[in-house]
Amino acid sequence: MSEDRRTSFHGGRPNVSEPPIGTDVRREIDAHVRLAADDLLADGWSEEEALAEARRRLGDEGDIRRRSEREARRRDARIRRARAWEGMMGDVKFAVRSLARSPGFALVALVTLALGIGANTAIFSVVEGILLRPLPYPEPDRLVRVWETGQSGGTMDFSTPSFLDVQRQATSLAAAAAVRPAALTVLGGNEPARIPSALVSHGFWEVFPVRAVQGRLTLPDDHVEGAPAVAVLRESAAARLFGEPGAAIGRPLQTLGQSATIVGVVSNEFDYPADAELWIAQEPFGVNTSRTSHNDDVVGRLAPGATLETARQEIDGIVRRGAELAVDDDPTYLPAGARTESLLESETGDVRQPLVLLWAAAGFVLLVACTNLASTVLARGTSRQREVAVRASLGATRGRIVRQLLTESGLLALVGGAAGIGVAWLMLSVMKPLGAGSLPRLDEVQLSGTVLLFALGVSVVTAIAFGLFPALRVAPDHTASALRSAQQGSRRDMRIWSVLISAEVALALVLLIGSGLMIRSFAEVTSQDPGVDARDVVSSPATLAGPAYADFGLRVRFWEEQMESLARTPSVSAVGLMTAAPVQGFIPTGRISLDLPENYINSPAYVVASEGAFEALDIPLVRGRMFGPADHADAPHVVVVNQTFVEEFSPDRDVMGRRVTGGGMDSFWSADPPVFAEIVGVVGDVRHRSYTEAPRSTIYWNFRQRPSRMGSVVLFAEADPGVDPVSLVPTLRTALRTAEPDIALGFASLRSRLGESVRARTFVLGVLGGFAALAIVLAGVGIYGVVAYTTSQRTREVGIRMALGAEAGGVRALIVRRAMIPVAAGLVLGTVGALWLTSYLESLLFDVSRTDPVTFLAVPVLLAAVAVAASWIPASRSSRVSPTIAIRAE
């Protein structure tokens, strides 16, 4: 048998089948039949019978052919893949060698790419973690947040009756719950603690069907009227209060003047509402029947089959119908309908726009980096044109050369992308502390698989963006023109470079103007006068939790005594308290009426305060007098109002001495006959809500006469001039703790608290500023690179000019002037682009027009200065070259 061999198998690599697979298979089977028939002939069969028998023994020929052909095609595919891989590896090896020959270029390209891709990856990981990743709860896309909408269209919290209507009637919701977030002072653990908490109605754990890691969640029975109060703790808080989560079960916690037993512990992953660690089962049982007291956050889970849209319509209808029934309520504060949003959107809505802005900024940085690289690669390509021409004349096709050059940029982009992931990691470690407290879900931000995939995608797109154009440009159309174009190319390249520089300048300018507007806006925000002098002040939320303080008289006495003794402490110049701090984000308002024939009604902010607070915060008394110890609980009630209140009331009628009633905050307002308080003074305006929101009309009530709102207050202490207020903290804390062990405190300088209120802006600004700086550096480097290269190409021209008597200064100016033409074009283009693009920025700006002339003048001037400097350096170098050397230059 083996003597059948008559073939050489000369080795060599397997080839893709030729002739076509079908023919080859048929030929092989025919050969088989022939050989089989030969054997049969030898056994004495006739030719015809032998062939028929051979085919019969073969089996189903059609089937055999089909299967053979399939296998043959697989073989060919495998060979092609191997070929492609080998070809690519060859290209890669070649690219590595060629990059190694110009390490300077490779380094600059890699650093540029790493920064560009890193910036994008870092921002994307923030966007992904905060905006895109589903919330870490079961079936997060079914969760919704619901608000009532006001008569003027804004959103409000739910009133209890409206919520109960929705909970009972909405068939599009499988479950709904009312949630009241609150920072509660909690006793019963190792020490009094202030814990971010939530009072939750029944249905809460059906909306969030998480599992208890210890014990159980609250059951419907826990929410029945009269049932013992129960609570669920988060692992973190359980560990803090009781040492370990398991020890918490069955233990009582005192808060809000009641005792609640801990029945379960949930994992740290669960944190709705944001940062909450304690969930107390509490039902809004008919406590408040008013449809104008908007106090409940409402969350829901869509019923199977329901969509956001059906829920939206149904809930809106329910709230609307409920409002029509409310005849006793003030129609101004009745809901006009309801708004339903996905929970993820509502949780991240505030930061969506700033984050998208940062993402866009990162995109601009990458574009600047790309134009930068394109011009560098082009410069390098031009100097390599000879090499390319030689390779072309040796038979390399245009496609082959383009592929080779693209491999080089691809390799750069991938290595740069890998370095970019490192840069992103670094950026994140800077950004996360910067954004802490102002960005929701920031702890979920990480370099996840999705983020890495994004980085890879960006790298690939970048490689094509900065590599393809120069590759096509350098690779000759055909061999004949290759050598010629090496000489002719430079003029065409000049034009391309001009375009690239213009583009780079324009892109950088748009980014810089955007950042400039944000910076100006930030300066405006922080220069707003909050109405208080925060410099020498420390403040602390102070909450009394012990049962003794259920007694209002005791409360007032406690605070009167404490403030008196604290004010006597050395280095303390004033002490006071208020139920609202400056720039704190939220302030309750209450409806009041003035004792006038025409029944003046307004809803000013409702703040209970002690006179010491005005002193500590340097809020000036403009007119009249401040309340004092003489205005005790049984004395006639007195209040002071702020200037905005006076302005809103009337420009020409005096507010002093008028009597006010209402406020809606405690039992006082519903007394029958109405109780009145006299306006005895006017104080300066304070921005209680935020830097950016104008002061609202405010009534400051005397704390002696409003003890019911004094369970939770903010304590202010002003230090003597020259004393660091923070140094007072230990003394203050010890004094208060000695008087009342069950008091929760958290001192910080008022200044730092005011700073926290602009943290989100600080974050956006910090990142944006970083990107802007990056863009300006990249643009400078890009301009420098191109001018340096083109000038070196013109050394000869420079030499001739100087030999003919041109001054060095004149030559320098000429070179700089030439470089400035595309820069100027870029500045014009960028300004136009910025005018158009900043319309997306408008809603983020405060007190700065989006066409702010200062920004639109200063930024282009700055960029032009950078461009002049970047081209001046190579220009002055070339003008120093001796003419004789220059003329001889090739």
Partner 1 sequence: MDLLKGTLDVLLLKTLSWGPLHGYGVARAIRSQTDDELTVEEGALYPALRRLEARGLLEAEWGTTDTGREAKFYRLTEEGRAELERQTASWGRYVQAMARVLGRETAPEV
Contacts with partner 1, residue ranges (CB under 8 A): 1-9, 14, 24-25, 27-29, 31-32, 34-36, 38-39, 57-61, 63-64, 67-68, 70-72, 74-75, 78
**From residue 782, how far is each of 23, 109, 778 by CA, in Å?**
59, 11, 6
**CB-wise, 75 or 320, nearer to partner 1?**
75
Structure tokens at 15: 């080839």
Least distance (Å) from partner 1 to the CB of residue 512? Answer: 58
**CB-wise, 27 or 211, nearer to partner 1?**
27
**CB-wise, 8 or 599, nearer to partner 1?**
8
| Phi, psi values for residue 223, rounded to 5° | -100, 10
Q: Hey, which residues does 179 pair with through a beta bridge? A: 200, 297
| Phi, psi values for residue 635, rounded to 5° | -75, 165
Q: Answer yes or no: are the C-beta atoms of 424 and 455 closer than 8 Å.
A: yes
Least distance (Å) from partner 1 to the CB of residue 13? Answer: 10
Q: Which among 509, 551, 584 has a CA at the least distance from the CA of 757? A: 584
Q: Residue 439: helix, strand or coil by DSSP?
A: coil
In angstroms, the CA 816 to CA 534 distance is 52
**CB-wise, 64 or 656, nearer to partner 1?**
64
Structure tokens at 697: 């009309």
Least distance (Å) from partner 1 to the CB of residue 37? Answer: 10
**CB-wise, 68 or 155, nearer to partner 1?**
68
User: Could you check whether the bond before residue 673 is cis, i.e. omega within 30 degrees of 0?
Assistant: yes
What region does 230 belong to: left with phi over 0, alpha with psi -120 to 50, or beta? Answer: beta
Least distance (Å) from partner 1 to the CB of residue 49? Answer: 17
Structure tokens at 721: 């001039």
Q: Which among 622, 602, 601 has a CA at the least distance from the CA of 686? A: 622
Which residue in the block uniquely carries the two structure tokens 């005895």? 680
In angstroms, the CA 239 to CA 285 distance is 32
**CB-wise, 57 or 321, nearer to partner 1?**
57
In angstroms, the CA 757 to CA 764 distance is 13
**CB-wise, 18 or 672, nearer to partner 1?**
18
In angstroms, the CA 500 to CA 371 distance is 6
Least distance (Å) from partner 1 to the CB of residue 278? Answer: 57
A 10 A CB-CB count for 525 gives 18
**CB-wise, 61 or 551, nearer to partner 1?**
61
**CB-wise, 31 or 635, nearer to partner 1?**
31
- Residue type at position 666: D
**In terms of DSSP bridges, do strands 258-266 and 230-234 run parallel, antiparallel, or are they unpaired?**
parallel
**CB-wise, 34 or 321, nearer to partner 1?**
34
What region does 38 belong to: left with phi over 0, alpha with psi -120 to 50, or beta? Answer: alpha
Least distance (Å) from partner 1 to the CB of residue 43? Answer: 13
**CB-wise, 24 or 756, nearer to partner 1?**
24
In angstroms, the CA 868 to CA 391 distance is 39
Least distance (Å) from partner 1 to the CB of residue 791? Answer: 57
User: Could you check whether the bond before residue 853 is cis, i.e. omega within 30 degrees of 0?
Assistant: no
Least distance (Å) from partner 1 to the CB of residue 472? Answer: 37
Helix axes 385-393, 398-435, angle to 10 degrees: 140
Which residue in the block uniquely carries the two structure tokens 């409310």? 326
Least distance (Å) from partner 1 to the CB of residue 41? Answer: 11
